[in-house]
Structure 1
Amino acid sequence: MNLQMRWTLLILLFLHNTDISWADSFIVVGPSKPVVTYVGEDVVLPASLSPALNAEAFQVRWFTTDFRSPQLLYIDYNIRIQSDTRRTLSRDNLKNGNVSLIIRNVRVSDDHLYKCLVISGLTDEETQVSLTVEVLGAQPSISMSSTEGQKTRLECRLRSGTPNQKSPGGT
């Protein structure tokens, strides 16, 4: 084989490998605003690949402050780590590049900045999703009154007028 033929084969092999790495390149897209939800609801922290590649064979890592302690780790076609069974992702949606984290029955302690890292081969991309958890409830009203025996009585009511808690106190 002559020198020109060897160079041609080498260049073709290089271009072939370059095309494969370009085909697997992607970015992870998250929302531009925080996700707001209420205690007790289910919430989706949106994240998707662009372009929408099949992510079933990719590694998907959702974490908050510590990369080494993931909230959820999907690798080798399975969820390997879940910090809590309330956290999951839709395996069916992975085919469409959707790597969103689902949190069921949200708690106040779920309020965090979440990071989603997706790894495929030599490509790793990340996005951030801020989750704000709010609590619904009525504003309490506290009143104080004195009884004939000079005892002080505190009464806590919801604004609707329904007694919530009564707490007698002494002076």
Structure 2
Amino acid sequence: VATCVALADAGVAALRFAYRDHQPPRMTLETALADTAGAVRLLKAHPDVPDRLALVGFSFGGTVAAIAAGRDSRVKAAVLAAAPAMAGAKFTAWTNDGKWKPVAELSRTRARVLLIWGSRDTEVSVENAERYRAVLTQARVTNRFVTIEGGDHDFNPAAAREQMAATVSEWVRESFVGAPGD
């Protein structure tokens, strides 16, 4: 919620949604991607939403954002917050039998990408960010890596969450400065 508020305060239209059936086995990578595609369709159909689109995803949602950004050229900016690049024990149930390839998918994007991690994240190691960053740099995709000092996987405590939300909002705004519709 803090990120949506920060985006709205910066004049950016934001849609926050939850994946249906948020736990496996009913929720899979493919159902999450379908939900994301539905959200994109909803935004693109709105007459007041410009042709600029950013995806912001946290944890598993960041992995979904990585894949969606690689597949959808309408995505102009993406934020991957504590996003697994490889299926660890916690995420194995969502991997769709080896279809978990967010790094390879993201390598096709032309969107600017912000990788943001809490310095105290014990669920998704910073090695995941390093994998994303390596492929983005090799593909010459504009990217930035930010560590939020003291933040855990959920960007707690509140000060870390506020810093994360402000950083994301600033990145999205910077991504669209000078773009049509400003």
Same fold? TM cut 0.5: no
Larger C-alpha radius of gyration, 1 or 2?
Answer: 1
Which has a greater percent of helix? 2
TM-score normalised to the size of structure 2? 0.24
Which has a greater percent of strand? 1
TM-score normalised to the size of structure 1? 0.26
